[in-house]
Amino acid sequence: MKIWLKTPLSILAENAENGLVIQDNKIIELVPLGAEPINQIDKIFDASQHVIVPGLINTHHHFYQTLTRACPSAINKELFPWLKALYPIWAGLNPENFRLAVRVALAELLLSGCTTAADHHYVYPKELTDGLDIQVDEARKLGIRMHLTRGSMNLSEKDGGLPPESVVQDKDTILADSEAVVGKFHQHGEGAMTQVALAPCSPFSVTTDIMEETAVLAEKLNVRLHTHLAETEDENNFCLSLYNCRPVDYLENVGWMSNRTWLAHGIHFNEDEILRLGKAGVGIAHCPSSNHLLASGHCLVPELEKAGAPVGLAVDGSASQDCSNLMQEIRQAFFLQRINYGAANITHFDAFRWATEGSAACLGRDDIGKIAVGKQADIAMFKLDELRFSGAGDPLAALVLCGAHKADRVMIAGKWVVEDGQVPGLDIPSLISKHHGEALKLQGLI
């Protein structure tokens, strides 16, 4: 069936003023201003009230953290004390509360226009050994593209790391499960709905041998690598103290300096490090709201892009910025980068690019992130029928400047996964009730 999304109010694509045509899971035609499709159309969707953008791509998240939003013991703290406050709580994760956390995160992402989500799951308490299986199951039910990252921690407090013993695993378990998860879930090639990356958590929570052997395993399995890096000055000091080098030097020493790698945050780089990262093609997941909330600093996005490093956007964990709204993150990135680089140098088109083409590049994909012939039919559609948009002259800019929060329609691989602002078949009030109860129980508040 060929579907024509006809005459959008505005669209983030060239020569597509009169819409686009989708067949199965792909975009097969862009329709210029004043033209009709050259393909014979089976169905028309009137998009005259919609602003159409490529499906947004989230490059870094921690789904389980939806259970610890606005957690009293972690409020008003910077990264290291914030983590120490939350690790003991996360040790109480189990299959039941984790499944609810994943469902909430995915639903919130979908409703914000997100079509592809990467999650960094690195907490493995004894009761939660099948977390990635749960994530895949929930993602398939909701129809979202999923980039699982098999996270890991094995450097506990007693060994000089940050996490407690209750949430770490041993090296053999980590490496064996990493290979098993790739074999079970990773789909290679165009249109993949589920992919897996290997993701030791950070320099302060894993040993050097885990970093080195994970890099070797990723190359063997032909999957990507992901970790947190250079998020705070505390991390820089930790690396200097423990490894006698800065985080980027450490990254190079353990064999991670390649275009197979993308990093979360990437704030505290010097000029030489930025050039080295760009030359290697290492991607950066920019997390503006999280960096604001934890007072970590700001990512040097223009310098990184100029050096050749792909930069994407991410909501980060829902306990370090407390929501999973990727459309809102575009606005945050837009404002944060303007403060540092000026109004004339950062546009709303830049912010959209980071959340689409830039994010796709971080994940090693060229089949998503753009409305163009041959790309996957992943799109987000927003209406401008709220008070916040009244008086807006440029519909596309209005999504960023006026603060769009909720998509009206979302399509992934040619299938509607959000219709009229709702996720079909998902009982949101019931989900909120169950999830909120489990969250308060986990935090010890009831």
Regarding whether 144 and 15 lie in a shared domain, the answer is no
pLDDT for residue 388: 97
Q: Are 247 and 235 in contact (CB under 8 A)?
A: yes
Tell me: do 93 and 112 sit in the same domain. yes
pLDDT confidence of residue 272: 98
- pLDDT category at 58 given cuts 50, 70, 90 is very high
Q: What is the pLDDT of residue 158?
A: 87
Parallel, antiparallel or unpaired: strands 379-383 and 50-54: antiparallel
Amino acid 415: pLDDT: 98
Q: What is the mean pLDDT of the chain?
A: 96
Query: For 248-276, how does the pLDDT look when each residue is reduced to its tens digit (9 = 90+)?
Result: 999 999 999 999 999 999 999 999 999 99
Q: How far apart are CA 307 and CA 50, in angstroms?
A: 36
Output 384-390 pairs: Cβ under 8 A, ≥24 positions apart.
384/9, 384/49, 384/51, 385/49
Cα diameter, the chain: 68
Q: Are residues 268 and 309 in the same domain?
A: yes
Residues 89/443, Cβ–Cβ less than 8 Å: yes
pLDDT at 432: 98
Residue 130, domain member (yes or no): yes
- Classify residue 394: in a domain, yes or no: yes
Do 34 and 168 fall into the same domain? no
Measured at the alpha carbon of residue 201, what is the angle toward residues 200 and 202, in degrees to the nearest 5?
105
Domain shared by 120 and 35, yes or no? no
Position 59 pLDDT exceeds 90: yes
Same domain, 334 and 358: yes
CB atoms within 10 A of CB 342: 9
- Mean pLDDT for 46-68 is 98
Q: pTM of the prediction?
A: 0.98
Does the pLDDT at position 129 exceed 90? no
Whether residues 11 and 147 fall in one domain = no
Task: Give the integer Cα–Cα distance in Å for 80 and 237.
Answer: 12
User: Quick one: tokens of 298?
Assistant: 């700001």
Report in angstroms the alpha-carbon separations of 222 from 3, 213, 219, 277: 35, 14, 5, 20
Instruction: Report the distance separating Cα 70 and Cα 36, nearest Å.
Output: 51
Domain tally for the chain? 2
Residues 6+ apart with CB under 8 A from 12: 52, 53, 54, 352, 356, 371, 396
Rounded to 10 degrees, the C-alpha dihedral 299/300/302/306 comes to: -120
**CA 317 – CA 289 distance, rounded (Å):** 10
For residue 47, the enclosing domain spans: 2-54+377-418
Residue 311, CA distances (Å) to 64, 150, 204, 305, 308 in order:
24, 21, 24, 7, 9
SS3 state of residue 172:
helix
Task: Say which DSSP state 250 is in.
Answer: H
In a domain, 95, yes or no: yes
CATH number, domain containing residue 194:
3.20.20.140
High-pLDDT (> 70) share of the chain, %: 100
C-alpha distances (whole Å) from 19 to each of 40, 209, 233, 321 are 15, 52, 47, 35
CB 203 within 8 A of CB 229: yes
Give 121's Cβ-side CA count (13 Å radius).
Answer: 32
Q: Mean of the pLDDT values across residues 49-55?
A: 98
Give a yes or no: residue 425 inside a domain.
no
Which carries the bigger pLDDT value, residue 271 or residue 159?
271
| 388-395 CB contacts, 8 Å cutoff, 24+ apart | 394/10, 395/9, 395/10, 395/51
Are residues 227 and 315 both part of a single domain? yes
Residue with tokens 């050096």: 307
Asked if the structure places residue 428 within a domain, the reply is no
107 and 32 assigned to the same domain = no
Of the listed ranges 13-17, 129-133, 280-284, 408-412, the least confidently predicted one is: 129-133
> Considering only CA atoms, which of 202, 281, 292 is closest in space to residue 242?
202
What per-residue confidence (pLDDT) applies to 112?
Answer: 98
Instruction: Go through 127-166 and write b for each residue having 16 or more CB atoms within 10 A of its CB, e for each that does not.
Output: ebeebbebbbebbeebbbbbbbbbbbbbbbeeeebbbbee
Question: What does the pLDDT read at residue 160?
Answer: 83
Query: Do 121 and 174 touch, CB atoms closer than 8 A?
Result: no
CATH number at residue 7: 2.30.40.10
Is 440 domain-assigned? no
pLDDT at residue 162, as a whole number: 85
Question: Which residues on adjacent β-strands are paired with residue 225?
Answer: 198, 261
Q: With 90 as the cut, is the pLDDT of residue 334 above it? A: yes
Residue 161: predicted pLDDT:
83
User: Is residue 433 in a domain?
Assistant: no
Residue 302 CA to residue 280 CA, distance in Å, equals 17
Asked whether residue 119 falls in the same domain as residue 42, the answer is no
Q: What is the pLDDT of residue 54?
A: 98
pLDDT of 446 higher than 90:
yes
Same domain, 166 and 284: yes
pLDDT digits (tens, 9 = 90+) for 349-398: 999 999 999 999 999 999 999 999 999 999 999 999 999 999 999 999 99
- At 143, the amino acid letter reads G
Amino acid at 13: A
pLDDT in tens, 185-211: 999 999 999 999 999 999 889 999 999
Q: What is the pLDDT of residues 70-113, one digit of tens each?
A: 999 999 999 999 999 999 999 999 999 999 999 999 999 999 99
The DSSP annotation for 101-118 comes to HHHHHHHHHHHTTEEEEE
Same domain for 135 and 145, yes or no, is yes
Helix axes 171-185, 131-142, angle to 10 degrees: 20
What are residue 114's phi and psi, to 5 degrees? Answer: -80, 135
In a domain, 157, yes or no: yes
